[in-house]
């Protein structure tokens, strides 16, 4: 993503050695960021010099259609913001249009967000910053805001004892949110959660992030529309050093609760309780594409997991071109939880087993209506299982291509599929 253009307006300088009665120049800086924020106009920049700033900021709107105001940390080490009175919900609350750059926000154990983009925020950016240390529900919360970009930040150690604290929480009716190039880790909830508020969140792009070692999941999508999870590296779920096992399945990506129009493409997933889960809940998710992902080293933690891709209730799901290997349980577990999956397409996936060569489990025929399955590639010696079908023990070991032919004959699927040597 191109960097925003350099502000052309006036620069306001802030320094711990300054005075709020000063002119705000480099030679006579202001003392507080809050004072500079009150004075700055659209198109101007606040340059915060190194030091510690105990403040709780509300960055107010200057009206619609105006240029952003930039709040930028200068020098090395970057300036540190810490809570002052701990009376607000966030160290920085953004309203209107603001760009936040190169800041260090240490929430210091307070029950506060590091940054909150509220419903009045739009076309704002948080970039190049490090945020950590809160005990609220998230590090960064986007609540009903529009056109927000969160990129190239480090968000870590937001820990709410025994409860969720996510790296980033996107809450509807937020619209057009980009989360790109961040390193998000060691939080007690998910790296990124997308959820409904007064309405569903819509139009969320999660791209090129490194998401790892969380107490629960990597990306959790529920009651959200048009979400793309693309080209991320996800690993280390759940982190039982942060969160007692059992609060989640430790999924790299979980899609549920009526989510719709979701794409999961080109991600590298490892060391998780499940790779990708698509779950029914009260209303099944719909129009889901899981394509071109590499899923490996999927563990049975907590117990009862270990699947590469598990689909338990959904409509119109495509599972195409994924490589799945090293799973403690089935690489693909499809409609095998007693929940209906309609319009399921499974094509051109490569499956290699783990310690147990469990490649594929299909639910009974009534739960997989409209199944299209073809051109998949299975490791020799792997196990295919179809609930309720007439195989010994309802499963078949792929000791030869002829065995795969038996599978095709009994089920009427997997035309063009092969056994890998």
The domain in which residue 363 lies consists of: 62-420
Residue 4 pLDDT > 80:
no
Pairing of strands 286-291, 372-374: unpaired
Confidence of residue 421 (pLDDT cuts 50, 70, 90): confident
SS3 36: helix
Q: Flag whether 43 is in a domain.
A: no
pLDDT, residue 402, reads: 94
pLDDT, residue 283, reads: 87
Containing 401, the helix (H) or strand (E) segment is: helix 401-411
Q: Flag whether 40 is in a domain.
A: no
Q: Flag whether 180 is in a domain.
A: yes
Q: Flag whether 31 is in a domain.
A: no
How far apart CA 242 and CA 236 sit, in angstroms, is 12
Average pLDDT over residues 115-137: 97
Q: Which residue has the higher pLDDT, 302 or 325?
A: 325
Q: Flag whether 254 is in a domain.
A: yes
pLDDT, residue 393, reads: 66
pLDDT, residue 303, reads: 87
CA-nearest of 414, 418, 380 to 397 is 380
pLDDT, residue 2, reads: 60
Confidence of residue 246 (pLDDT cuts 50, 70, 90): confident
Residue 47 pLDDT > 70:
yes
pLDDT tens track for 345-402:
999 999 998 778 999 999 999 999 999 999 999 999 999 999 988 777 688 999 999 9
pLDDT, residue 1, reads: 58
CA-nearest of 414, 351, 408 to 379 is 351
Q: Flag whether 27 is in a domain.
A: no
Q: Flag whether 197 is in a domain.
A: yes
- Residue 133's alpha-carbon distances to 32, 81, 98, 140, 197, in angstroms, are 22, 12, 23, 12, 25
Q: Specify the number of domains making up the chain.
A: 1
Residue 119 pLDDT > 90:
yes
pLDDT, residue 300, reads: 92
Average pLDDT over residues 244-267: 94
Residue 237 pLDDT > 90:
yes
Q: Flag whether 32 is in a domain.
A: no
Least confident of 6-10, 68-72, 130-134, 275-279: 6-10
CATH number of the domain encompassing residue 127: 2.160.20.10
Average pLDDT over residues 86-105: 96
Least confident of 154-158, 229-233, 364-368, 373-377: 364-368
Average pLDDT over residues 213-236: 97
């Amino acid at each position: 993503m191109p960097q925003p253009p350099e502000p052309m307006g006036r620069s306001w300088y802030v320094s711990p050695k300054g005075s709020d009665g000063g002119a705000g120049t480099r030679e006579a800086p202001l003392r507080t960021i809050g004072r500079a924020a009150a004075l700055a106009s659209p198109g101007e920049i606040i340059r915060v010099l190194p030091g510690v700033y105990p403040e709780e900021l509300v960055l107010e709107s200057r009206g619609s259609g105006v240029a952003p105001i930039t709040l930028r940390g200068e020098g090395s080490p970057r300036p540190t913001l810490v809570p002052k009175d701990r009376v607000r919900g966030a160290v920085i609350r953004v309203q209107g249009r603001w760009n936040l750059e190169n800041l260090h926000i240490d929430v210091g154990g307070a029950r506060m967000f590091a940054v909150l983009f509220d419903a009045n925020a739009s076309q704002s950016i948080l970039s190049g910053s490090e945020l950590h240390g809160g005990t609220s529900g998230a590090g960064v919360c986007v609540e009903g805001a529009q056109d927000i970009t969160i990129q190239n930040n480090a968000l870590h150690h937001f820990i709410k004892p025994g409860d969720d604290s996510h790296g980033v929480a996107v809450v509807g009716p937020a619209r057009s949110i980009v989360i790109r190039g961040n390193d998000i880790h060691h939080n007690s909830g998910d790296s990124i959660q997308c959820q409904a508020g007064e309405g569903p969140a819509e139009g969320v792009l999660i791209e090129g992030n490194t998401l790892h070692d969380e107490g629960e999941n990597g990306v959790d999508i529920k009651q959200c529309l048009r979400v793309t999870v693309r080209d991320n590296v996800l690993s280390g779920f759940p982190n039982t050093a942060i969160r007692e096992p059992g609060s989640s399945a430790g999924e790299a990506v979980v899609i549920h609760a009526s989510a719709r129009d979701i794409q999961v493409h080109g991600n590298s997933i490892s060391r998780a309780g499940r790779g990708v889960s698509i779950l029914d809940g009260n209303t099944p998710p719909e129009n889901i594409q899981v394509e071109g992902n590499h899923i490996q080293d999927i563990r049975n933690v907590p117990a009862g997991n270990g699947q590469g891709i598990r689909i338990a209730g959904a409509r119109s799901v495509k599972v195409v071109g994924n490589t799945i290997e090293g799973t403690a349980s089935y690489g693909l577990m499809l409609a095998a939880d007693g929940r209906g999956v309609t319009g399921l397409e499974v094509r051109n996936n490569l499956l290699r087993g783990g310690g147990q060569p469990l490649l594929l489990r299909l639910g009974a025929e009534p739960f997989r209506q409209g199944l299209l399955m073809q051109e998949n590639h299975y490791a020799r010696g792997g196990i295919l299982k179809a609930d309720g079908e007439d195989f010994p023990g309802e499963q078949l070991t792929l000791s030869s291509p002829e065995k795969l032919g038996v599978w095709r004959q009994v089920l009427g699927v997997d035309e063009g599929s092969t056994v890998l040597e």
